[in-house]
Amino acid sequence: MVVKVNCQSLSVPKTNPTTLSNETGLNEEALVSLLRNSYELQQQDQQQKAQEEEEEREEKDDEEEKETVPSPTSVVNEEIRECPMCYWEFPKHLTLENKKQHIENHFA
């Protein structure tokens, strides 16, 4: 025996699917623009944070570099005590001009 069932009696009543537009009462265009704007703001925040971190790293590198490299003024203010070519220790009475002349003689 074949039983025929009425299809309409078995079907589930149709309801609107749950969507953001249904829940918030805003139309789709408004929701899309809100979501897009919030995403763009998040991206901008991430870029700003990345830039700030990069600047901090550069500042730290610069500070470390300053600590390790002697300043040119300290080199100029120090007296030349020995020849950089032959490592001869200059006498204390030798003038700067004589020290330069000695060093230049190595290149002649």
77-86: pLDDT as tens digits: 567 888 888 9
The answer to whether 62 touches 54, Cβ cutoff 8 Å, is no
Q: 3-state DSSP call for residue 22? A: helix
Distance of CA 98 to the CA centre of its chain: 51
* Eight-class DSSP state of 85: T
- Say if CB 80 and CB 96 are below 8 A apart: yes
Q: pLDDT tier at 9 (50, 70, 90 boundaries)? A: low
Question: Is 99 exposed, middle or buried, given 0-12, 13-18 or 19+ CB atoms closer than 10 A?
Answer: middle
Indicate yes or no: pTM above 0.85: no
